[in-house]
Structure 1
């Protein structure tokens, strides 16, 4: 048989197969690449946004004895090479650069009663990180007599801020330490070349004067390489550190699990190579664990959506193959009747389908590489699955239909009654799907990270169950409709509905593609709507007002007046936040003093708020059960408890907190402004230089611009659009599949006087009921899936860390 002649004869169907296959392969291979790129971008952003001291790997050694001292740079460099050799392969690819340090801590300035601390610090790359603005870089240490002893004198350099904050002067010598004293001579003053560099996250003690406790000030002064010779851990707290920075851009989301394992292995290796004297300091495992939880949810949702898209695309392609096979029916029957072998009959449609789908799949697969992003395994697996589904159906259908030559069939008969075994199997599938849905809701979130097979299987099981119920039950409402229209004199409704009720399974199955298509589309729409609604709520929870200005110090009155007169500002509510003492013991709580009535007024349209409060105090659940509350805040206040609030929008959502009227303060030290309006944030930041300006709109944009959130939202849009196109194609193919049988019926009816208009109505009535029933079932499935999957899918990482009531 001439395959190419048949291909030219059926070129229209071949072109349809080619277009459907190439587009399907482009989608199933291109979307995963785009998603993986979004996952990688999200990981890069998370690691970059985290402080370097958490994201990087720091090998630390606490020095307590002279035998563990390191006095030369080369000794530090030798240890650095040792730690880098111990890095597992997944981490070795990520680590680039680094620095070493030696720092003392809690080194008091003698005579300050523990209120001032001047620590000594050596940084291996200080010459590249700082600029000396006064004096000179430190040199070699010397010695001096102090209280009858000879003590070392370190030449040090301090940051500019320390001169004012700690009352230090260039050229001054300070004695430091208590039992083992030393002296620090200030010979230089520096500033950071790039204060915003992530490097300073590890060395903020060098760049800033810090207050670890009230009335205490700490700063670390720089010493030279030569100063290491006199620096010892005997008699003071000394720590050596080797910082191995993690290059966020080199990290891949697909390797997160390997990275977590590698960090744990590196920690063990460091301990073994140093006999337990050295340990690994890093927050990388927690960062990766949090990211993996968000990634797992994104991948689960995407697998469900992409799996539905792949199933629908393959189903539409199979429909096109079915239509091609029906057009070859007469030719294949003739070949089989003339003694053709079954393998010849099977080879013809399989070869024709292969001619169309194999080049199309290759083209779609090749085009997917135009989409930027890594290549996950599904990129390679998707197109072969589509090809196998098409060619497999093209081979199996004629093998079943033409297994016996000259087998006569009547297409106008109702399908045979299903066997008891088949009915039992279908009932079992439905019962198992319902039981699985119940167990999934009862179980809730799984504890293990990664993909949950039970969660991935359940949507498929529910779809199959709904399809089985639909296949068995759809004729009954149609037969009822037939009885109703049989009483009228019009013949077209009776004939159309009768043919729809008596449709063969082969005529109904094409329309059932609507079921997963609509189910996935509605599922995506429901998830998108619930996440968007929760994102909006989270943005209000984070700000507590349309615009909020917070400051660490009191905001001057003249600045408040300028804010009031700024264009776009409608109302300004004053507030003071701080920590208060509860009773006379050590119990503390976070508090905000504010005019609650004014605050409620600017939150009139917001989804968050507080109960009315004119006097007394509102407390958090941690302070529940008290009739009155005595607090120390500027003065001693004894206030009645007027209610319990789960959270204070924009301020407190856990722990001990309370809200009091601002009028109870003797003189409110306003450090927070709650603003109603749409003023420019940059202008407000200029008016209050000490403040941090946020808005509900900016918080909402930040939540929505997260790479993982954006990837999920864009994927939903693309998949929904693709499914809509496939639904239209499926309906058209469904009409074409039943066209020959419909044409014969219409030709017979034409002899009885059927007009063209009536013929069109007959076609609509034959197809429309099944489409409507399937559409209703698909919509129901789409609404059911979020309800079933909701308790087992944590979408809070995409909604500002608020739980999403999926399908609720």
Structure 2
């Protein structure tokens, strides 16, 4: 047959099919690429945000005998080359080349006490392979070769070292000063220079904080802090440095290039780290001092994969629904084209055409529309950045294959016998017992799956097939229930309208109730479309509200200013006078002694009533001001409950009485031991925290109190929402919601067109009997709207129920500031807009249909003998 001629004849149906296929192939090919690209961006951002000491790979060994000591740079370099040589294939692309990035080698001692300090001062020896590239000498000079000196009758080595400049005053050190280190195997250091880091913000220094800053440690049971610093020595010092009598470790840092990380390769990287750690132990020359791998990368990957699993689950749920609905709408368009071809192909079949010829003609004509559209959608998806997943190739192929396959199968089934006649007077066929049993089984299994999904323990990592199948089963069950049950309320309405005098309601509802299953099935595409779009809207709204709640719980106020030292009264006044500030609530926080022992707790002294006024309109609230009693009333955490009245040490001894229990203090404490006191309970409050309400500029507030760190609820919320993974989830949900709403509207329009011929014939008969145009429009609306309304209600109900049905299987806390998303409150605007849009399109379609039918003469619709 002449395919080109048929294409021109049915250009309208071909155009609809082309447009639907193009949009479907573009969405199913582009969205997975965008999703995977955002997954990669999220992983790279998490690796960049993590400290380098956590993200990088560090090989370390602590020698225990002289044969294991390394005394020259070449020994370090040889081992560095060996570590890179045995890297598993999954890790090699991630590790930066030697000598670049933060890669370096080091030797350090730990807990090396200074003689005469009573164990309060520790100066450790350190060596960095790239010291010259990392520091600038601001005083003195760079260290040189070590010397010797006499100490307690023995000759001990003297290392020339440099110290970070801040440690010179902090630890009371001076240039050319000599300090003796150790407890038995003594060495000495001579401080010959002070340095500063060339770039203190470089990730490199995450591995060497002990060199760049003085560490203060409070040993258990002591009141004074220990001070620790690691010095720097030159290469010649390695020849003298040994492990005898000291805690010495050698380290090789292999930095990770975050830009080359891939979410798809994350599980392989995790396995590669385990394999690398195993290979390192095989390189050890002593079981007492094995080579070990130190890294927090597995924890970072585990956290990311946990969030990724949830994102993938939600994404595949909505994308699967989108694909199913898109294919369903395309099938409707194919059915529209097949109906247009019905007369032509019936004539061909009657004239001796084979069934293969008829089916092949329909498939070829469909392919003319869908194959170019599929290729165009697939090509346009290449403009979207992101890795190419198998679904990118398979999705468009599946859409095109379903369209062509349905066209061939539908025409082959319709024209299996020549001159086929279809009975128009048969209203419904009674379903067989097998079919009823199968449908009941589907409904029971769907409900059982939803119950098990909520009650079972979800501990597996990766995509959960059970989690993906249950929503599909629930959608299929809802469709079956809607399909079987919708005629019954309509038949009840038919009985009620049959008692009235108006014929239009009776005729319209009767035609709706007697619609055959084949006529009803196209409209049921609306059910998954509405269910998935409402589900996406509910999840998106739930994430948005929980994100806002998380930002308020993180900060505890519109703006919070915290300082490690007391904020002076004049600085507080400057904050009050800052433009945009409406209210300021001062507070003091600190760590207090509970009782008279070593027990400690966190405490905050604040005016709770003023703080509550400051939070007016926020989604968080504070407990009521504690009532007075025998002592200062205090709210305590659950860990401190049941103690009645007790004393705390905070500036002075304060006797507090438990006036209530509070689980969290927003912005400050969420667990552990803590208590809340009135600010006036302190003899002289040393304010170190300011809670600010208003729209003030954070930079102006920071200028008013230079020692304070300024955090705003708005900035925290922006940080949560700007996370690539979170942004992708919400963007994809929005795109899918809009796309499904569009497909639902198209499904309504196509279903109207599919039944146009039958409806036109019925209206022609009724017009011959005196039906007016107004009555014709009402009759058409009453025929169409019931099924759309029933399907819309079922779809909305299923979409609202899906988040609760999925239960703990979908943990969205990773996208909401680590707060569980449990309150799925839907804005009424979404279901109202969807239902109103579908109803409006159906009504407009009905009016358009009657307007078109009115222009057609009865002779064009009725045949000779139809009225006799």
Q: TM-score, normalised by structure 2?
A: 0.91
- Establish whether residue 617 from structure 1 lines up as the match of residue 634 from structure 2: yes
Aligned position for 1:762: 779
Q: Choose which of 766, 787, 791 in structure 2 pairs with 1:749.
A: 766
Aligned position for 1:140: 145
Distance between the aligned counterparts of 2:231 and 2:713, measured in 1? 42
Other structure's SS at 2:420 match: coil
Distance between the aligned counterparts of 2:565 and 2:244, measured in 1? 41
Other structure's SS at 1:510 match: helix
**Post-superposition CA distance 1:243-302 (Å, at most 9, x none):** 011111110111111111111111111112115511111111111101111111111111
Does the 8 A contact of 1:95 with 1:246 survive in 2? Answer: yes
Aligned position for 2:158: 153
Written as runs of structure 1 = structure 2, the 5 A alignment for 1:621-632 is 621-632=638-649
Distance between the aligned counterparts of 2:433 and 2:526, measured in 1? 28
Distance between the aligned counterparts of 1:549 and 1:473, measured in 2? 61
Does the 8 A contact of 1:552 with 1:691 survive in 2? Answer: yes
Distance between the aligned counterparts of 1:115 and 1:555, measured in 2? 30
Written as runs of structure 1 = structure 2, the 5 A alignment for 1:25-36 is 25-36=25-36
Distance between the aligned counterparts of 2:763 and 2:732, measured in 1? 44
Other structure's SS at 1:451 match: coil
Q: Choose which of 783, 795, 799 in structure 2 pairs with 1:778.
A: 795
Other structure's SS at 2:820 match: coil
**Post-superposition CA distance 1:754-799 (Å, at most 9, x none):** 2233222222111111111111111111111111013221111111
- Establish whether residue 681 from structure 1 lines up as the match of residue 698 from structure 2: yes
Distance between the aligned counterparts of 1:776 and 1:99, measured in 2? 64
Aligned position for 2:571: 559
Other structure's SS at 2:649 match: strand
Deviation of residue 713 (structure 1)? 1.0
Does the 8 A contact of 1:36 with 1:253 survive in 2? Answer: yes
**Post-superposition CA distance 1:52-73 (Å, at most 9, x none):** 1111111111123222110000
Distance between the aligned counterparts of 1:684 and 1:428, measured in 2? 65
Distance between the aligned counterparts of 1:745 and 1:201, measured in 2? 80
Q: Choose which of 121, 130, 134 in structure 2 pairs with 1:125.
A: 130
Distance between the aligned counterparts of 1:170 and 1:20, measured in 2? 79
Deviation of residue 620 (structure 1)? 1.0
Q: Choose which of 364, 371, 376 in structure 2 pairs with 1:363.
A: 376
Aligned position for 2:57: 57
- Establish whether residue 799 from structure 1 lines up as the match of residue 816 from structure 2: yes
Q: Choose which of 646, 650, 653 in structure 1 pairs with 2:663.
A: 646
**Post-superposition CA distance 1:66-121 (Å, at most 9, x none):** 22110000000111111111211111100103110001111111111111111111
Q: Choose which of 220, 238, 245 in structure 2 pairs with 1:228.
A: 238
Aligned position for 2:475: 463
Distance between the aligned counterparts of 1:386 and 1:118, measured in 2? 70
- Establish whether residue 115 from structure 1 lines up as the match of residue 120 from structure 2: yes
Aligned position for 1:529: 541
**More displaced stretch, 564-573 vs 260-269:** 564-573
Deviation of residue 226 (structure 1)? 0.9
Written as runs of structure 1 = structure 2, the 5 A alignment for 1:595-606 is 595-606=607-618
Does the 8 A contact of 1:790 with 1:807 survive in 2? Answer: no
User: Where do 5+ consecutive residues of structure 1 fail to align?
Assistant: none
Does the 8 A contact of 1:621 with 1:644 survive in 2? Answer: yes
Aligned position for 2:195: 190
Other structure's SS at 1:577 match: strand
Count of aligned pairs between the two proteins = 807
Deviation of residue 557 (structure 1)? 2.5
Distance between the aligned counterparts of 2:530 and 2:339, measured in 1? 27
Other structure's SS at 2:265 match: helix
Deviation of residue 636 (structure 1)? 2.3
Does the 8 A contact of 1:597 with 1:613 survive in 2? Answer: no
Aligned position for 1:702: 719
Deviation of residue 190 (structure 1)? 0.9
Could you say what the CA RMSD is over the residues aligned between the two structures, in angstroms?
A: 1.3
Aligned position for 2:261: 251
- Establish whether residue 475 from structure 1 lines up as the match of residue 475 from structure 2: no
Other structure's SS at 2:764 match: helix
Other structure's SS at 1:488 match: coil
Aligned position for 2:444: 431
Other structure's SS at 1:206 match: helix
Does the 8 A contact of 1:787 with 1:806 survive in 2? Answer: no
**Post-superposition CA distance 1:491-512 (Å, at most 9, x none):** 2221111111111112111111
Distance between the aligned counterparts of 2:453 and 2:561, measured in 1? 44
- Establish whether residue 321 from structure 1 lines up as the match of residue 331 from structure 2: no
Aligned position for 1:414: 427
Other structure's SS at 2:231 match: strand
Aligned position for 2:831: none
Distance between the aligned counterparts of 1:322 and 1:470, measured in 2? 22
Aligned position for 2:455: 442
**More displaced stretch, 590-599 vs 519-528:** 590-599
Distance between the aligned counterparts of 1:555 and 1:62, measured in 2? 46
Deviation of residue 328 (structure 1)? 1.0
Q: Choose which of 375, 378, 392 in structure 2 pairs with 1:379.
A: 392
- Establish whether residue 201 from structure 1 lines up as the match of residue 206 from structure 2: yes
Q: Choose which of 391, 413, 417 in structure 2 pairs with 1:404.
A: 417
Deviation of residue 563 (structure 1)? 1.1
Distance between the aligned counterparts of 1:617 and 1:269, measured in 2? 56
**Post-superposition CA distance 1:400-438 (Å, at most 9, x none):** 222223332212321211111101110110111111111
Distance between the aligned counterparts of 1:252 and 1:64, measured in 2? 39
**More displaced stretch, 285-294 vs 544-553:** 544-553
Does the 8 A contact of 1:29 with 1:378 survive in 2? Answer: yes
Distance between the aligned counterparts of 1:184 and 1:394, measured in 2? 87
Distance between the aligned counterparts of 1:763 and 1:412, measured in 2? 19
Q: Choose which of 374, 396, 402 in structure 2 pairs with 1:389.
A: 402
Deviation of residue 468 (structure 1)? 0.3
- Establish whether residue 79 from structure 1 lines up as the match of residue 84 from structure 2: no
- Establish whether residue 345 from structure 1 lines up as the match of residue 358 from structure 2: yes
**More displaced stretch, 516-525 vs 604-613:** 604-613
Aligned position for 1:274: 284
Deviation of residue 806 (structure 1)? 4.8
Deviation of residue 568 (structure 1)? 1.6
Distance between the aligned counterparts of 2:197 and 2:608, measured in 1? 44
- Establish whether residue 550 from structure 1 lines up as the match of residue 550 from structure 2: no
**More displaced stretch, 670-679 vs 421-430:** 670-679
**Post-superposition CA distance 1:334-380 (Å, at most 9, x none):** 22222322211211111111111111101100100101111122111
Does the 8 A contact of 1:493 with 1:765 survive in 2? Answer: yes
Does the 8 A contact of 1:25 with 1:364 survive in 2? Answer: yes
Does the 8 A contact of 1:790 with 1:806 survive in 2? Answer: no
Distance between the aligned counterparts of 1:419 and 1:489, measured in 2? 38
Aligned position for 1:6: 6
Does the 8 A contact of 2:159 with 2:190 survive in 1? Answer: yes
Does the 8 A contact of 2:609 with 2:624 survive in 1? Answer: no
- Establish whether residue 664 from structure 1 lines up as the match of residue 674 from structure 2: no
Deviation of residue 42 (structure 1)? 0.9
Distance between the aligned counterparts of 2:642 and 2:268, measured in 1? 48
Does the 8 A contact of 1:527 with 1:806 survive in 2? Answer: no
Other structure's SS at 1:138 match: coil
Aligned position for 1:507: 519
Written as runs of structure 1 = structure 2, the 5 A alignment for 1:17-32 is 17-32=17-32
Deviation of residue 488 (structure 1)? 2.1
**More displaced stretch, 745-754 vs 628-637:** 628-637
Distance between the aligned counterparts of 1:330 and 1:584, measured in 2? 98
Does the 8 A contact of 1:511 with 1:770 survive in 2? Answer: yes
Distance between the aligned counterparts of 1:411 and 1:123, measured in 2? 90
Aligned position for 1:241: 251
Other structure's SS at 1:676 match: strand
Distance between the aligned counterparts of 2:437 and 2:642, measured in 1? 59
Q: TM-score, normalised by structure 1?
A: 0.98
